[in-house]
Amino acid sequence: MLKNKDSIIRLLPEVNGKYVENEPMSKHTWFAVGGPAEVMFYPADLADLSNFLKHKPYNLPLCIVGAGSNILVRDGGIPGVVIKLDTPAFKEIKIGNNQITCGAGLKNIELQKTLLKNNLGGLEFLCSIPGTIGGSIKTNAGCFGQSVKDVLISAQIINGNGEVYDLEPEELKLSYRSSFFPEDWIVTALTFKTTPATYADIQKILDEQRAYRQKNQPYNERTAGSTFKNPEGLRAWELIQKSGCAELKIGGAKVSEKHCNFLINTGNATAKDIETLGDTIVEKVKEKTSLTLEWEIKRIGVGR
């Protein structure tokens, strides 16, 4: 790879994976918006990632992304290096005694094939959540009455110094849509408990959950899931609706007609359109109810 004298790649360690300069983040997010990553790094495996972290410049800005299903990248892009665990080494699945270990880069929906083939129940809910396995733990992702906290046995992480650890669930302090996660930690694999189940029973649950989402949430649209966390004992969508925000639109961004806690890129939205729409909803809900909605979608990068 040729290293431009102005490129930060010349400061980065040699790796077995791949560096890509000025990678459009709109290709890596469900909103399909956002400026470029200064450098995107695809590590070949855990050893390659560890080597990179051990030898990178000490003040290098780092960001980790998965499927991009729950992030909004601002229009100015992301400075530094964006790490994406998208190689086969980070998508491996290992089955044990009433447990399964999944690489962080595995998409949640891809897990269902393994569950059906091996008659493993208890993780159907996870298959219906957009995103990757690694991303599911940081927000303690959940739906249909279950969350990652309920099924997690252990998490393998690597810190900013390239050191690998296995952590117990209690060390992560998982709670509603949150966890204890230092900024320099990267999830590399998760181990979940499973329960014996028949193919038919697993398929029935998967079908029911898919049908529910298609009926009640925007489908095949450019969105990033629920925009705001539910305040304790309340529903964000009800607060949005009661505050007169259900039909709001800014530029190419609008509130979903099917579920008003979802924001939609109608096709020509900028990240600024989407973020401004979300912030406008926060303001209007606060004016109407005195409650401040908290973003569930993670906003990253710099504006333009």
The C-alpha angle 234, 153, 171, rounded to 5 degrees, equals 70
Q: How far is CA 279 from CA 165, 248, 284, 290, 299, in A?
A: 38, 12, 9, 15, 12
Distance of CA 145 to the CA centre of its chain: 19
Of 23, 38, 275, 296, the active-site residue reads: 296
* Active-site annotation holds for 177: yes
| pLDDT value, residue 181 | 80
pLDDT band (50, 70, 90) for residue 48 = very high
CB 239 within 8 A of CB 293: yes
| pLDDT value, residue 46 | 98
Q: Where are the domains of the chain?
A: 8-86, 91-216, 236-300
Burial group, residue 93, by CB count within 10 angstroms (0-12, 13-18, 19+) = middle
| pLDDT value, residue 240 | 97
| pLDDT value, residue 6 | 66
- Residues 118-171: pLDDT tens digits? 999 999 999 988 889 998 888 888 888 899 999 999 999 999 999 999 999 999
- Residues 232-288: pLDDT tens digits? 999 999 999 999 999 999 999 999 999 999 999 999 999 999 999 999 999 999 999
Mean pLDDT, rounded, of the chain: 94
The fold for domain 236-300 equals 3.90.78
Of 50, 128, 147, 226, the active-site residue reads: 226
- Phi, psi (5° rounding) for residue 28? -120, 10
- Widest Cα–Cα separation across the chain: 59
| pLDDT value, residue 1 | 37
Neighbours of 196 (CB within 10 A): 11
DSSP assignment letter at 225: S
Q: DSSP secondary structure string, 32-89?
A: ----EEEEEEE-SSHHHHHHHHHHS-TT--EEEESS-TTEEE-TT-EEEEEEE--SGG
- Residues 167-189: pLDDT tens digits? 999 998 888 777 788 888 999 99
* Active-site annotation holds for 226: yes
Of 177, 210, 213, 299, the active-site residue reads: 177
Amino acid identity at 219? Y
pLDDT band (50, 70, 90) for residue 3 = very low
* Active-site annotation holds for 257: no
pTM for the model: 0.91
Assigned CATH class of 91-216: alpha beta
Assigned CATH class of 8-86: alpha beta
| pLDDT value, residue 141 | 85
CA Rg value for the chain: 20
| pLDDT value, residue 18 | 97
